[in-house]
Structure 1
Amino acid sequence: MSYQSIAAVAVGAESGATVSVGWLHLIFTPAAVATFIRNHIDRPTTDLEPRRLYTAREIETLTGLTAATIRADRSRGRCPVPDDTEGRAHRWYGATVTEALAARRGYRKPSADGARER
């Protein structure tokens, strides 16, 4: 069971939830789940200059999304093609990066009706 699955189960409980993974039984309170998500899953938004070009290393520094993840996503077709490929460095406009980050899948807290909030 993934952390996100455990988090989704625990968020729905009012007094806490017991999650069983094989022989291991874990109890999570909603506050503990919210803290975990805030510290490990949520990505803060970053204001990038829309017309400035950024390298993968600069994107990593500003957004926390590692250069290795950017390279892996590019090889899997999940990252937009660079806006500039002059020389060895691939660079993206801030507007391109902002759009790509907004489209990245992340944890979405279930709402009261069970639908995923964005």
Structure 2
Amino acid sequence: MSRAPETITEIAARYGRAPATIRTQWAQEPDWPAPVGRRVNAHLYDPADVDDWLARRIQGPIAVDWIPEGLYSLRDIAAATGLPLSTLRSRVQVDLLPPADDTSGRPHLWFGSTIAAAMTRCLYPRHCT
């Protein structure tokens, strides 16, 4: 362990997330790192383990066999990738996912080729190396 163990609050500060997000979402995942100790009444986590978990969970390219000319809604994309629908919506709003290819109706739809290209980029650029 090269860095000092961190609490959930410290992890949240480092990643710019709310502690509640880490506690109620990330730490509930089955592959979340095991605590390496305790500080008063808080679990401590190895920062390298948390970084590795995040890289596996959200930063890497997401391999899905998209049909290039197929049209997919955000719900379809969320179901195929395992990413939360709220994450995908926010990434569209901040231009980390491209605008929908078909906006003629609801829901808006993206071509498989558009999504495949977008999923090769990091959806959390502040944390990409």
Structure 1 length normalisation: TM-score?
0.58
Structure 1: state its 5+ residue gaps. 1-15, 109-115
Root-mean-square deviation (CA, aligned residues, Å) is 3.4
Q: Does 1:91 align with 2:112?
A: no
- Per-residue deviation, residues 12-34 of structure 1 (Å, max 9, x unmatched): xxxx3341558x5x57497x568
Structure 1 42/81 Cα, relative in aligned 2: closer, same or farther at 3 Å? closer
2:40 is aligned with 1:55:
no
Compared with structure 1, are the counterparts of its residues 19 and 61 closer, same or farther at alpha carbon in structure 2 (3 Å cutoff)? same
Aligned to 1:3: none
Structure 2 unaligned regions, length at least 5: 11-38
How many equivalent residue pairs?
93
Contact 1:17–1:27 (CA<8 Å) still a contact in 2? Answer: no
More helix per residue? 2
Question: How far has the Cα of 1:104 moved from its partner?
Answer: 2.1
Q: 1:35-54 maps to which residues of 2 (within 5 A)?
A: 36-37=53-54, 40-41=57-58, 43=60, 44-54=62-72
Aligned letter for 2:74? A
In the alignment, structure 1 residue 73 sits paired with structure 2 residue 123: no
- 1:100 and 2:118 equivalent? yes
Alignment of 1:14-53 (within 5 A): 16-19=1-4, 28=46, 32=49, 36-37=53-54, 40-41=57-58, 43=60, 44-53=62-71
Greater gyration radius: 1
Aligned to 2:92, the other structure's residue is in SS state helix
Indicate how the Cα distance of structure 1 residues 81 and 64 shifts in structure 2: closer, same or farther if over 3 A, else same: same
Normalized per residue, the structure richer in strand is 1
Residue 78 of structure 1: how far off its partner (Å): 2.1
